[in-house]
């Protein structure tokens, strides 16, 4: 859906009030009921329904009647809410042309009051080309349900946090300005995507810079995971700028080595094809004679030494949490010393806890069965009384036999007694029902009463 900012001129305060009401309702509703929108907006004299009709005309909302009458925000409506908020903050005053489009975002030029041009990135997760985000990214973490607008907001917040932290550590990234909802405002990079570059004055120098960025990121505890020619900007002076990193993970991630090797391979493959560069490994494969392999030709994930001030802990990157870092620090300081004996003690403690829980469950079952027996005695059934007497005899004999034995044997007998009593209770209940159906004592008593009333 194309972003037409001219529509902003025709939207009033009531329109944005209703848009905000739908956004608030979508926190716990996939489709917000129209009554809830009216109640949250609080417009007088039925003004909410008039505004909804106007918003539908501009495709800022979607009307759904499949289950009930309700509305949900579209990406265009979410764009207008973010742009309105950033304009009110004074971040920018105008929106210009679209300068980029990707599988999960659109990029526009925006102008500040003094004429400075910035870049506005609108995350748009959920496109047909990128609907596997739930399995490929961990934005949801422990959540089971999601909406594409919410995922876009999480991606924008994550990218803004990474951009700000990398900028503080002197990485070649755009300057982070502001963030709201799924919109990120950053400085405009004066350059071209690497994929559009056909020639370079010093391809070897550029290659070394790019590989150095990947290694430096890993030393700070982060892996880009999508480091290729599409996410590298280069200017006329061959200055490198790295962009697009909401998918970064920690070096402690279970697939960290695979992501690191994939980033390195993308760079090697691009420079080999585009600029006809040959590397030490290529010469080794072409030459049949034995040649000493240059170990520094390709960086290895295991040779990287992680910096003490790693960013993955500060940013809570995927695959690494603060709890894991605290446990690691305690282990290094000697506060967490584990041995095989302690592991065995923990296993024995777990077994004791399970035994205690089983004992409590057995006691609870015995109490409930005794209550059932009392109720069955009060019902007055002949067969029930006989069965309960047998159970009581079994219990008394079991108690007398178990007085002189150990605690574990006593619990075993109690468990068998509970199972026998449960089977006895089911039998007595069925016998009571069959007794009534076959015209037992209860029916005979009714007939007797009717006959006595007739006499």
For the annotated catalytic residues, the residue numbers are: 226
Report DSSP letters for 9-38, one per residue: GG--HHHHHHHHHHHHHTTS-SSEEHHHHH
Nearest-angstrom CA–CA distance, 131 and 152: 12
Q: Quote the CA–CA distance of 408 and 401 in Å, as a whole number.
A: 14
Tally of residues, the chain: 455
Would you give the distance in Å from CA 268 to the centre of its chain? Answer: 33
Q: Give the pair of three-digit tokens for residue 447.
A: 């007939």
Separation of first and last alpha carbons in the chain:
89
Distances (CA, A) of 360 to 293, 353, 354, 392: 67, 11, 10, 22
d(C-alpha 262, C-alpha 269), whole Å: 10
Tokens of 48: 């909410």
Give the pair of three-digit tokens for residue 121.
Answer: 């990135």
Q: In the chain, what's the furthest Cα-to-Cα distance?
A: 123
Strand ranges for 220-378 from DSSP E: 222-223, 232-234, 240-242, 249-250
How far apart, in whole angstroms, are the C-alpha atoms of residue 187 and residue 192? 14
Contacts of 449 (CB under 8 A, 6+ apart): none
Both tokens assigned to 106: 């659109």
| DSSP element (H, E) containing 264 | helix 256-274
CA separation, residue 228 to residues 79, 184, 245, 255, 265 (Å): 28, 22, 11, 18, 9
* Burial status of residue 179 (CB atoms within 10 A of its CB: 0-12, 13-18, 19 or more): buried
């Amino acid at each position: 859906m194309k972003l037409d900012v001219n529509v902003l001129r025709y939207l009033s305060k009531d329109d944005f009030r209703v848009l905000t009401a739908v956004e608030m309702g979508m926190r716990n509703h996939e489709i917000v009921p129209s009554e809830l929108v009216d109640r949250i907006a609080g417009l007088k004299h039925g003004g909410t329904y008039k505004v909804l009709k106007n918003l539908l005309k501009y495709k800022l909302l979607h009307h759904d009647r499949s289950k009930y009458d309700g509305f949900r925000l579209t990406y265009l409506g979410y764009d207008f809410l973010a742009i309105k908020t950033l304009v009110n903050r004074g971040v920018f005053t105008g929106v210009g042309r679209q300068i980029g489009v990707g599988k999960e975002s659109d990029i526009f030029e925006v102008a500040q009051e003094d004429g400075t041009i910035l870049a506005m990135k609108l995350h748009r997760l959920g496109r047909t080309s990128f609907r596997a985000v739930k399995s490929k990214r961990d934005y949801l973490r422990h959540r089971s349900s999601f909406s594409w607008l919410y995922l876009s907001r999480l991606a924008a917040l994550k990218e803004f946090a990474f951009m700000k932290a990398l900028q503080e550590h002197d990485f070649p990234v755009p300057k982070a300005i502001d963030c709201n909802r799924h919109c990120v405002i950053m400085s405009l990079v004066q350059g071209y995507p690497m994929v559009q570059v056909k020639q370079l004055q010093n391809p070897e120098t550029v290659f070394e810079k790019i590989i150095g960025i990947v290694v430096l990121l890993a030393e700070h505890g982060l892996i880009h995971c999508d480091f290729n020619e599409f996410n590298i900007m280069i200017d006329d002076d061959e200055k490198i700028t790295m962009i697009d990193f909401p998918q970064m993970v920690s070096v402690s991630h279970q697939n960290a080595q695979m992501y690191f090797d994939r980033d390195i391979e993308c760079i090697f493959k691009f420079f080999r094809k585009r600029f006809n560069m040959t590397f030490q490994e290529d010469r080794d494969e072409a030459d049949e004679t034995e040649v000493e392999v240059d170990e520094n030709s390709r960086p290895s994930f295991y040779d990287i030494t992680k910096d003490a001030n790693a960013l993955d802990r500060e940013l809570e990157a995927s695959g690494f949490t603060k709890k894991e870092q605290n446990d690691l620090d305690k282990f290094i300081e000697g506060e967490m010393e584990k041995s095989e004996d302690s592991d065995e003690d923990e296993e024995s403690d777990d077994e004791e806890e399970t035994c205690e829980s089983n004992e409590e469950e057995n006691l609870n079952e015995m109490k409930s069965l005794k209550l059932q027996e009392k109720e069955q005695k009060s019902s007055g059934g002949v067969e029930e009384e006989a069965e309960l007497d047998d159970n009581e005899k079994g219990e008394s004999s079991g108690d007398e036999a178990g007085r002189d034995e150990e605690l574990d044997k006593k619990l075993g007998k109690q468990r068998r007694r509970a199972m026998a009593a449960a089977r006895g209770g089911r039998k007595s209940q069925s016998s009571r029902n069959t007794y009534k159906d076959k015209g037992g004592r209860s029916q005979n008593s009714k007939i007797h009463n009717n006959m006595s009333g007739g006499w």
